[in-house]
Structure 1
């Protein structure tokens, strides 16, 4: 065997070994072997994720508790700022983002989404005593708060441009935006309809929905995994669990508990 032949054979062997290792990589198998799923969410996004006297609760937790039971593992819940979640997922700091993430075409290109867990239509709220603003188009020239780095921020920017201009003010959490709206430092706040409906129902003396509250195209929230073949079985297991929970009524019960009503969700992952 010549020197060049030996090098070629060695390189071929290393390539085959790498391909074999990649083929064997399976995130679901690793999770089951560890007996736990490490998650990330922002626990300041009621009614999906919130801290009540230091205890984590909300629609997301109730749903994922049931999913984890179906997979036979324990969930590990971590409170991570939204802006750090997608970068943290990409470098493997956790297995899945369970913060409700809006499905968008550009994100579908980069990440693996589960089936939708809730409606994510974009809406607007104002101060309860504000009679100047009614329909979404009335925010032209006004100052509107939104959580930084969200799909809602991009949709607001686009909508504002179509109106001729809106002063967009971004916040680290929705709670900060709500506080500034209540204090009169904002004219309105935009976010997902479920979040804002929950807020208004709990604080009707402070906040009110626009009429109609929604603007933009319909959208959905889902959970996010890393892209790649190693996450395929993990995503399928979660989707199978969500479909089972939909069919046996658990999803409906959890939605009604936290949102006050039930919205039938797609049984396939939307791609646009």
Structure 2
């Protein structure tokens, strides 16, 4: 009996030690770094410019790293591999960001929103055949594979007659190359991304107004488990501090050309 009790106690202590070790924030602090998965073809959040990783996320997480006393280590991969990588614990969280939806909230935890994410169409500059979103009827359009922007485009496309052909792309660089070449007449992007693309290449792209999507918000993604709870709290605390002291607004203005009012949390998304 005593031997069984000792073994049970040892097992309990072992499980407790494993749980403590699995705390994501504690482990990150021990290592001195926070590993963040992202796609580097999602300007202006994450992209490569002259060989360097840049964008709003780089600036924002530089501030978060200072707040938490952690070095930020980026893990870049295609978007359709980012969420599986998070679930496999290849990194601590996902920058993205991603649109906060009901389906995603069932599976993940989101940070406090960092920007509006309403979906719009980006078109080739001077293409007068697309003056409003409904003008894509019967034409070929595209969007990023496994993205909410693509899902909303497909839903919108299904309301049009004749229905447009919808292509799926592994990254926004490929999609914009096809758009610039005239192989598609429009690609679905969240308004901040579309506005940045048009601002950066005004002779090539322009935004189709108004946006066709439902009003939604961007947030960062973390695993929905007890081991990530302290990291969620720390990330939200750092971002809310940035919202309060003006650093977030300054980053939005720098990268989007405009500022967004965002709620503290999204518990019942419109999508």
- Output the TM-score relative to the length of structure 2: 0.92
Report which stretch shifted further, 155-164 or 80-89. 155-164
C-alpha distance after superposition, 1:153-201 (max 9, x if no partner): 1111111112242211011111111111111111111111101111111
2 CA distance for matches of 1:118 and 1:137?
A: 26
Between the aligned partners of 2:208 and 2:153, the Cα distance in structure 1 is 15
Distance 1:175 1:112 in 2: 28
Rounded Cα–Cα distance in structure 1 between residues aligned with 2:207 and 2:186? 10
The alignment's C-alpha RMSD in Å is: 1.9
Name the counterpart of 1:35: 32
1:191 aligned onto 2:189 = yes
2:224 is aligned to 227
Q: Distance in 1 between matches of 2:172 and 2:40?
A: 11
The corresponding residue for 1:95 is 92
8 A contact 1:103–1:270 mirrored in 2: no
Pairwise CA distance, 1:271: 3.5
Deviations 1:108-164 (A, max 9, x none): 111111111111110002111211211111112211111111011111111111224
Residue 211 of structure 1 deviates from its aligned partner by: 2.6
1:34-83 residue CA offsets vs partner (Å, 9 max, x unmatched)? 11001111111111111111111111110111011100010001221111
- Between the aligned partners of 1:171 and 1:253, the Cα distance in structure 2 is 31
Please give the alpha-carbon distance, in whole angstroms, between the structure 2 residues aligned to 1:119 and 1:19.
Answer: 42
2:141 corresponds to:
144
* Residue 16 of structure 2 corresponds to residue 20 of structure 1: yes
Structure 1 partner of 2:164: 166
**Secondary structure of the structure 1 residue equivalent to 2:35:** strand
Return the alpha-carbon distance in structure 2 between the equivalents of residues 30 and 232 of structure 1: 13
Partner secondary structure for residue 162 of structure 1 = coil
Looking at structure 2, the residues matched to 262 and 219 of structure 1 have their Cα atoms a distance apart, in angstroms, of: 15
Asked whether the 8 Å contact 2:99–2:219 carries over to 1, the reply is yes
| Alignment partner of 1:244 is 2:241 | yes
SS in structure 2 at match of 1:163: coil
CA contact (8 A) 2:98 2:221 kept: yes
Given the alignment of the two structures, is residue 200 of structure 1 paired with residue 198 of structure 2, yes or no?
yes
Provide runs of 4+ in structure 1 moved above 4 Å: 9-15
